[in-house]
Structure formats: structure tokens, C-alpha cells
Chains A and B, each alone.
Chain A
Amino acid sequence: MLDTIIAVDISGRHYENDRYFMVSAAVALSYSEGNIRGIEGIHVIPFSSTKPPEITDVVHMIEESVEGIGIKGTVVAERGDMFNQPEDMVKQMFRVDFKYPESMAEKLGIEFAHHVSLSSRNLLMKQEVRES
């Protein structure tokens, strides 16, 4: 039986050029018995803000990128991304099922999402430079 996780990572959570320019990437992975079987979808959304993101903003960005994927599954994001808050507390803030990564498959998923969000953000920044 295949299960699905949606690994999410947000890059750009630092102040740069008068703003926080963040990119949230969600990657849906199917797995069984702890092994990744396939990549089912990817969705990336950029966010811009003048204030540093708070935990509710992070929850919002994650949920939005997950909704864009249109696949159901348990959402996984790093503890550090959620301000190191206890898992039980963070779970309650989400409308979807949420957990911190534990298995190697989940860690790999996050690593994947991390590279997607980083490279997407770089691409968008380059694009901006060109257009300006």
C-alpha cells in the first residue's frame, strides 16, 4: 500500500533588499514501507513581505503551497522551520495532517523540497534583475 507525504521547505526567510522574499516548495512523494516509490507532484509559491514571518505566516505559506499540489497526504516540514515548537502544538495550527520528519524517506523529501525552493528562488531573483 502506498502512502503519500508532502514535504515542504521555505527558503529566503532572511531580510534582503528591503524585504523578505520567500519561496515555499511542496513536493508530494509516494512511499511504502519506508522507501520512496515516486514523486507525484511539485508546487512552488513565492511570497514577499516587509515583516519577518511569524509562525502563523509560515503555516499559511505551507498550506497554500500544499493546496496548489492538489494531492492529499501528510505534510512534513523541519522543526526549525516551525520555530522549534513542539509537534503537538504545531499540528493543531494546521488544517491538514502535519508532522516533523523522522524517517529517512521524510528527510529525503525535505531535502528535495529544499533544493526546489532554493533554485526556484534563485531563478525568480535572476528574472527580477533582468526585468528591472
Chain B
Amino acid sequence: MNDVILVQRTVPGSKERDNIRKLAELKELAFAAGYNVLDSIVQQHHPDRRYHVGKGKAEEIAGHVAELYPSKVIFLNPLTITQIYNLSELCQCEVIDKFQLILEIFATRATTSRSKLQVELAKLEYELPRARKLVSLLKQEERPGFMGMGGYEDSYEQDLKKRISRIRKELKNTIRSSATRRESRHEQGFSLISLAGYTNAGKSTLFNTLVSENVESMDMLFTTLSPTTRSININGRRAMLTDTVGFIEDLPHFLVDAFRSTLEDVFLSDIILLVVDASDPIDVMRKKLAVSHDIFWKQLENAVIITVFNKVDLVSPADLEAKINALRYLCPNPVIVSAKESIALDKLKETIYSNLPEWKRFTISLPNSDKGMSVLSWLMEQGIVHSTDYGDTITLDVEASDSVVEKAKKFVQNLLED
């Protein structure tokens, strides 16, 4: 159902290595959007006005479609509406380009109302310059229903403009809801950890490894939890771990805000795990790290960055040491791991643990009563109860955040005064 075919048109004279990298990135993006790539087709060609690739190649693609039944054909290169129309007709299959694919990914990852609006806005901005052409094409060809259009609405372009300005207004009025969400998570005793980094660095693999080894079976408490957030336990401390959209090279302008909005959670985390593919050549690593710093610049509130060099199983120790040494200035708190082979994850957890927002260790005595017991169970949820000593009173050794400590002490005081 989710099968796709990828198509790349390469520019004559362009670098082979870059082209291969770009196609690999498109594959990763398709994968991140939940697609299964059946085949990829590459043609070196100047852009064709009607089909983007040469007509013969377009027919070849149609042949593959007839044989493999993909649900979509995804072009790496940006397509005009005419090209999308002609290709869809020829292939009898939905055809999209890389930007539409990226928009699909953003849409699945947009969790806050703000980021949802940003993604919707980007979608409309993608459609707007194509609107007039689309309507005239549909009239000419008598094909209502194409690209989700009901009829040949002449007002289509106007509608888009109206919707764009409405969303812009709404965006102005919605505050960043993630800030309040962070507050409430903190109050529930959770710290926030985000995975960030380029596509293919191994974020999802690390996410899965960390989650499966440190399950905190409390996910059902959070009915609104997105599929990319899980609660985990780091040496007794509870945290929400969020996987995020991978950084994507050369984003067009209209996608930048939507992209940033999907990163709101990252900016507000307590800890950012910046995942780096240590098997990349050093100049590629340097460029990706520098772009990451650009993305974080002036956006972070309290976040500590931990640089996770992943895929160490693919790199020789000497090579790795040279890389880390040369890139030191871009790598706060470096940790070397293999997410896939579960190498050095304890070291990573140690580093995460020591950078979590500080909790205090304190002793508190509760009355040995129902009320006392309810405070005890509350403290067990909010913090870590290291030991309990039942006597006339219940004496606890507890570790928790400042605000929890305060609340607990006040509670006991009130009980005593009653």
C-alpha cells in the first residue's frame, strides 16, 4: 500500500558523489514518511518542460508503475504543475516531488497547534504559485478531482490567499504551547530529552534502543503522546524522549518555518542528543555540525547539548580519534556509541544523567496515616524514593526537583497544623 518508486533527474556534468548522496537522502526521507521504496530510476537529462525527464524515460516510469503498482512516484527534483499533471496522466498514479514528501513528513511530526499551522501554511504556499495553472489545466483537460480539487473553481487562487492570511493571523495569536507543556511535564517529574541531527545519523535506531532498554511503562498515562515520544528511565530519573524530523539539506525558503516549528520541542528540551554519523567523511561531519549549530543558535533556552557520535562500529579507533579531535570545537559533551550494536550506551546514559536538571536529596517524615500514604505515593510518582522507614512516622529518603520538595514540605506542615 505504501510502496513508492523514486525518480532522480541529474544535471549533466554534476558530481556523481553528490547525486548519489542526494538519492540516498531521498530514500531516507521516503522511509521516514513510512514508505517502502520499490525501485529508483535515475536519468541524466536537461529538464523537459512536459515530463521533467525525457519522454522516453517518462514512459519507462509508467511501465514500472504498471508492473509494480506503487501508490506514488516521488521525484527528487521540484516539479511544475504541468509536469505533475502530465506524469500522473501517463503513469496513472499519484506523482509528487521531494518538497511534497517533506511536507508529508512535517505533517505527521507536527504535534503542537502552532507547528500544525506552520505546516498548513507551507502547504498553501507551495500550492499558491501553481494554483492558476492548475485551474486552467483542469478546464482544458476536463479533469475535475485531480489533486483533490472538486471542480474547476476559478476562485481557487483567491481561496488559497484567504486561507494563507487567516493562518498568518492565527499564528500571530497562538503562543508557543510547548512552553506550557514543558512546565507540566516537569511538574510530573519528567525531564525532556530530544534526539536531533541529520537524516540517517541513526536517531530512530538510538530512540528504539534507548526505549526498549529503559521502558518506563507509563506511556498510557499520556493519551496525547505522539508516536515519536516515549517515556524512559535513566538511572531512576524519568524522562520523555522525543525523536524529531531529521535535518534536511537545502530546504527551500517556504519550508524553513515549518521545519523550525517541528523542532519546537527540541529547542525547549532539557537535553538535546545531537546525533552525528561518525562514519561520514570529516568534511561532511564538519558541515553538518556547523549547520546544526546554526539551527540551534539563539533558539535554546536551557538545553544542554550532548554530541552523540554514532556508528562507531564502522570506524577505526584511530580514525575516530582524529575526527573527534579536529571537530572538538563543534562538539559539546561528546559520547561515542553504536546505537545498532548497543555499544557504550551506559556511558551515554551516565552523561545524560549527569546533565539532567538538578534534583535534591532530602529526608522527610510523614504521619503513618492514609494522608501520609497518599503523600508517599505522590512522591514516588514525582521523584525517586530511595528508602522508606516505617515507625510511628514514615521516614523517607527522597530525590526530587525543587518544586516537588517545596510542595511536599508544605503538605506535611499543613498536616501537622490540622
Contacts and interface: CB of A to CB of B under 8 A. Distances in A.
Contact of A107 (B286, B293, B307, B328): B293
Contacts of B329: 3, 5, 31, 34, 102-103, 105-106
Contact of A103 (B293, B333, B334): B293
B376 interface: no
A16 interface: no
Interface string B305-337: 101000000000000000000001111111000
A122 B293 CA distance: 31
A33 B331 contact: yes
Contacts of A55: none
Contacts of A106: 329
B297 interface: yes
A31 B333 CA distance: 12
B333 A33 contact: yes
A102 B328 contact: no
Interface string B276-317: 000000000010011001001100000001010000000000
A103 B288 CA distance: 11
B290 A34 contact: no
A124 B305 CA distance: 40
A35 B333 CA distance: 9
A34 B305 CA distance: 9
Interface in B169-226: none
A34 to B, nearest CB: 4
Contact of B290 (A3, A31, A33, A102): A102
A104 interface: yes
Interface in A1-60: 3, 5, 31, 33-35
A107 B295 CA distance: 12
A34 B297 contact: no
Interface residues of B, number: 15
B347 to A, nearest CB: 15
A96 B98 CA distance: 44
Nearest to A105: B329
Interface string A89-132: 00000000000001111110000000000000000000000000
Given A102-B286, A102-B289, A102-B290, A33 B328 contact: yes
A106 B290 CA distance: 11
A113 B328 CA distance: 23
A96 B290 CA distance: 22
Contacts of B307: 34
A103 B331 CA distance: 8
Contacts of B293: 102-104, 107
A31 B305 CA distance: 15
Contacts of A107: 293, 297
* CB-based closest 4 A-B pairs: A34-B332, A102-B290, A103-B330, A104-B293
Interface of B: 286, 289-290, 293, 296-297, 305, 307, 328-334
Given A33-B332, A34-B330, A107-B293, 18 more contacts: A5-B329, A33-B328, A33-B331, A33-B333, A33-B334, A34-B305, A34-B307, A34-B329, A34-B332, A35-B332, A102-B286, A102-B290, A102-B329, A103-B289, A103-B293, A104-B293, A105-B329, A106-B329
